[in-house]
C-alpha cells in the first residue's frame, strides 16, 4: 500500500493530538442495531464527515483504506466486512471515483434513525 507523505503541520497534528476525542453515541450499541465494531466505524465516519465542515454529515466525503486504517487500526479486510454490513443495512452509500480509485461515502442518517428508534 502506498503511504501518503505528510507535511509539517500534519506531522504536528499527528503527534500533538492526545486531547482529541471521538464522540460515540451510546445508543448505537445499546439499541442492538450494530455491534461495537460497526458502531465504532460509524462514529469514526461521522467524525470524519464533519472535518472542515461543521454539521455537514449528510454529504459525500472520501476516506481511503489507508486513512481509515491509520485512524481506527482496522485491517482492510475488516473495514470491507463492516462497510458491506453497513451498506446492506442501508446506513451508508459508497462509490469509487478517480484513478487510482478513491472510496467516497455518504451516511444515511434517516435509516440509522429508523433502525435505532424501531429497536428502542
Partner 1 sequence: MTTNKKVMKWFDEMMNDKRHIIFIRKDYFQIAPGAYALDLQLVIDSYYRKKKDANGYFNLSYLMKKLSIQDDPQFKSENGRETKRGLKFLEQKGFIKLNKTITRAKLYPRRIEKALDAAYKALAKELKDEKEKAK
By CB under 8 A, is residue 33 in contact with partner 1? no
Contact assessment for residue 59 and residue 53, using Cβ atoms and an 8 Å cutoff: yes
Name which position in 29, 87, 94, 104 contacts partner 1 (CB under 8 A): 29
Residue where the block lists cell 503527534: 15
Please, what is the minimum distance in Å from the beta carbon of residue 42 to partner 1?
A: 12
CA distance 77 to 26: 26
Please, what is the minimum distance in Å from the beta carbon of residue 78 to partner 1?
A: 7
Name which position in 45, 49, 72, 86 contacts partner 1 (CB under 8 A): 72
CA distance 37 to 59: 23
- Quick one: cell of 109? 442518517
The closest alpha carbon to 81, from 29, 41, 24, belongs to 41
Interface with partner 1 by CB under 8 A: which residues?
3, 5-6, 11, 14-15, 17-27, 29-30, 32, 35-37, 39-41, 43, 46, 55, 57-58, 71-74, 78, 109-110, 113
Amino acid at each position: 500500500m502506498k503511504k501518503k507523505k505528510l507535511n509539517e503541520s500534519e506531522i504536528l497534528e499527528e503527534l500533538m493530538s492526545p486531547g482529541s476525542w471521538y464522540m460515540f453515541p451510546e445508543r448505537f450499541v445499546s439499541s442492538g442495531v450494530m455491534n461495537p465494531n460497526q458502531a465504532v466505524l460509524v462514529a469514526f465516519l461521522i467524525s470524519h464527515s464533519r472535518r472542515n465542515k461543521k454539521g455537514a454529515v449528510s454529504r459525500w466525503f472520501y476516506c481511503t483504506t489507508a486513512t481509515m486504517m491509520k485512524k481506527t487500526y482496522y485491517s482492510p479486510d475488516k473495514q470491507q466486512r463492516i462497510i458491506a454490513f453497513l451498506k446492506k443495512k442501508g446506513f451508508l452509500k459508497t462509490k469509487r471515483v478517480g484513478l487510482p480509485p478513491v472510496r467516497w461515502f455518504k451516511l444515511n442518517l434517516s435509516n440509522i434513525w429508523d433502525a435505532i428508534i424501531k429497536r428502542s
